[in-house]
Amino acid sequence: MPTVRMGSRLHFGFQNLSLARERLYGGIGVGIAEPRMALHVERADTITSDDPVAAPYLEAACEHLDVPGAELSVRERPTHHAGFGTGTRLALGALLGVARAYDRSVDLRAAAPALDRAGRSGVGVATLEAGGVVLDGGHPTERFTTEPPARGAWTTPPVIARHAVPEDWRFLLVTPIDAAGPSGDAEDGQIRAAVERADPGIADEIATLVTQRLLPAIAAGDRIPFGRAITRLGRLNGAWYADEQGGVYRPPAGDIVDTLRDAGPIDGVGQSSWGPTIYGLIDRAVSDRAREIGQAALRDAGVEGQVRVVAPDRQGVTVG
């Protein structure tokens, strides 16, 4: 009766959305220890789940493994479509749980495309594997055609860089309620629209940002320059998405980002995926002050929400 336990991920942005370059997407993000997800899976003759959001993922896992059924109990999980990569974690977590229940082995990286995951970013799969800050190699641009590719007609993007996050770094998470980000066909349509008109000059600036600032900073464990790099990365990605999400950040994220960015203890700030979660990079010693700033940012924006300070994920998913 295995239990699959994992944290979440933050998605800082993509390296390229322009069709003028050879590789498309190329996700950049980090694994975080919370919000947690815990899935308890048992063998069964039918497919049953106590969480309706998780049920389709369990069905897909059983179909992929060609087993008669399983019973899934969701002990913990983050809000869906909040910028934490919950869909990928439900899909692959269910797969791991069903495989263990049936004493089967499974390769997450190989299986992800068949479960409709990693079609753009590989950060979700990579952070499940081992946590850390991750850059993936994206997909060949020629794969982008008028019609989206059929499920499974791609491979999970390769990890081109992974670095552990220093133990004293923390992430402030500010999540407005009732502001779920787009998903499914709506998300696909918005991404495709952004790709079709993406400025290749932004990708060129991101390439320099990644090689000259972001990667050296995380390799050296330098929090302040790394924070500045991910802040700039988020703004550049927002320029690609501005027409689709109503600005560089999707409202109400812009007002919250402004408050966090102007706060002294917060070294970097951005929007994870389509939001609504906004993150800030901080030192562990200022966690209490950062929470206060996060609460003030929600009040100033006139919205309710949840504020958390979380540690980085340094190990990835566990099954036991």
Q: In the chain, what percentage of residues exceed pLDDT 70?
A: 98
Diameter of the chain measured on Cα atoms: 56
Handedness of CA 168, 238, 162, 110 (dihedral sign): positive
CATH 3.30.360.10 fits 3-319, yes or no: no
CB atoms within 10 A of CB 234: 24
How far is Cα 104 from Cα 107, in angstroms, rounded to an integer? 10
Cα(first)–Cα(last) distance of the chain, in Å?
8
Give pairs for 49-55: CB < 8 Å, separation 24+. 49/73, 49/74, 50/74, 51/77, 53/77, 53/80, 53/90, 54/90, 54/94
How far is Cα 279 from Cα 231, in angstroms, rounded to an integer? 10
User: What pLDDT score does 291 carry?
Assistant: 98
User: What pLDDT score does 181 carry?
Assistant: 60
- Show the low-confidence residues of the chain (pLDDT under 70): 179-186
- Domain boundaries of the chain, sorted by first residue: 3-319
Question: In sequence order, what are the residues at sequence separation of 6 or more whose Cβ sits closer than 8 angstroms to the Cβ of residue 274?
Answer: 81, 83, 181, 182, 187, 190, 245, 250
Q: How many CA atoms lie within 13 A of 316 on its CB side?
A: 19
Report pLDDT digits (tens) over 190-239.
888 889 999 999 999 999 999 999 999 999 999 999 999 999 999 999 99
pTM (two decimals): 0.95
